[in-house]
């Protein structure tokens, strides 16, 4: 299912709560990806809560994830206006996930808020942006069976829209109460895998910030495009996210096989040998300082 339109979203939600009347259907929406969401929620009769409530970030509403009761007891609990605003302003592949639970909004909010806190290598505290579908997709892949069982136990089912627009379902073994020591701890290997998997998304984000009009040049599979270019750029010693985004920009402007052209071939040899930085090669080509 490609869940990008308001009508598809509404049909999915209506069908689910009709066939599962004992479960509540929730949205977790990221305000960062939907500026103005808090204003819309305050103005609506919908039931909602910030996952930052009762935390140090409680007042950081502009970057907060919000839990919204979408439907229960076989009926939608948000207005058509709010639902349309969310689908019109949110990007399903990066700013919202869905989940189903028999528990109340307050209970689900409390349990999800705990999942924002995790430990990474060297016992460092970090915030887990699981409400970003791109992160949730990777968690599904990198967590051990026990870690996944504990993490996803806050809901009966989770859904996210992948990078190609497909609605992906994650079934879980629901538990009424979290384990006392249930905080997620990622190993060094898991952390590295997660960071590497999200690098193409950061590269595309920087690319579009720098040259917005190149959006039309990007293939449908943006993630695959960036991942392929990152692997190729790495062979020349190009590693930083900024330089990787620049590499993708050059590829879009000069052609997919620009590396074979004499200027770029010689320039990339210099980058690989450490004689020059990739930024310098691009600046010399453009005749301007970046």
Q: What is the pLDDT of residues 55-70, one digit of tens each?
A: 777 677 778 999 999 9
Residue 145 vs residue 1, higher pLDDT:
145
Binned at pLDDT 50, 70 and 90, residue 100 comes out as very high
In terms of phi and psi (left: phi > 0; alpha: psi -120 to 50; beta: otherwise), the region of 64 is beta
Q: CA-to-CA distance for 17 and 27, rounded, in angstroms?
A: 13
Q: What is the pLDDT of residue 2?
A: 46
Most confident by average pLDDT, 69-78, 88-97, 180-189 = 69-78
Residue 188, both tokens? 């060094």
Mean predicted confidence (pLDDT) in 35-41: 95
Among the ranges given (56-65, 89-98, 183-192), the one the predictor scored with the smallest mean pLDDT: 56-65
Is the per-residue pLDDT at 277 higher than 60?
A: yes
Reported confidence tier of residue 249, pLDDT bands at 50, 70, 90: very high
Query: Nearest-CA neighbor of 249 among 235, 237, 264?
Result: 264
CA–CA dist 133, 110 (Å, integer):
20
Range in 39-43, 112-116, 168-172, 284-288 the model is least confident about: 284-288
How far is the first Cα of the chain from the last one, in angstroms, to the nearest whole number? 42
**pLDDT tens-digit readout, 197-213:** 999 999 999 999 999 99
Angle ∠(182,184,186) on CA atoms, nearest 5: 150
Q: Which pair of tokens denotes residue 144?
A: 């051990």
**How many Cβ atoms sit within 10 Å of the Cβ of residue 57?**
14
CB 31 within 8 A of CB 63: yes
Give the pLDDT confidence of 175-184 residue by residue, as tens digits.
Answer: 999 987 778 9
- Alpha carbons 274 and 233: distance in angstroms, whole number: 14
pLDDT of residue 58: 63
Question: What is the pLDDT at residue 1?
Answer: 45
């Amino acid at each position: 299912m490609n869940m990008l339109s308001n009508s598809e979203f509404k049909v999915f939600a209506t069908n689910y709560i009709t066939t599962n009347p004992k479960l509540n259907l929730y949205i977790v929406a990221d305000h960062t990806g939907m500026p103005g969401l808090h204003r819309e929620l305050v103005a609506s009769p919908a039931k909602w809560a910030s996952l930052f409530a009762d935390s140090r970030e409680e007042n950081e509403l502009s970057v907060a994830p919000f839990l919204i009761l979408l439907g229960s007891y076989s009926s939608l609990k948000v207005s058509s206006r709010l639902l349309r605003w969310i689908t019109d302003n949110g990007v399903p592949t990066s700013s919202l996930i869905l989940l189903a639970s028999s528990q109340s909004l307050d209970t689900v909010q409390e349990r999800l808020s705990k999942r924002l806190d995790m430990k990474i290598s060297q016992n460092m505290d970090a915030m887990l942006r699981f409400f970003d579908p791109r992160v949730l997709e990777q968690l599904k892949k990198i967590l051990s069976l026990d870690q996944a069982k504990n993490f996803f136990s806050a809901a009966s089912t989770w859904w996210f829209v992948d990078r190609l627009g497909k609605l992906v379902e994650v079934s879980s073994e629901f538990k009424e109460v979290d384990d006392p020591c249930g905080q997620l701890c990622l190993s060094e290997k898991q952390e590295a895998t997660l960071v590497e998997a999200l690098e193409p998304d950061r590269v595309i984000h920087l690319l579009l910030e720098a040259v917005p009009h190149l959006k039309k040049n990007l293939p449908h599979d943006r993630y695959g495009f960036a991942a392929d270019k990152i692997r190729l750029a790495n062979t020349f010693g190009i590693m930083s996210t900024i330089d990787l985004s620049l590499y993708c920009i050059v590829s879009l402007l000069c052609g997919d096989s620009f590396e074979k052209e004499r200027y770029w071939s010689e320039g990339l040899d210099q980058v690989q040998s450490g004689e020059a930085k990739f930024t310098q090669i691009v600046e010399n080509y453009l005749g301007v300082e970046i």
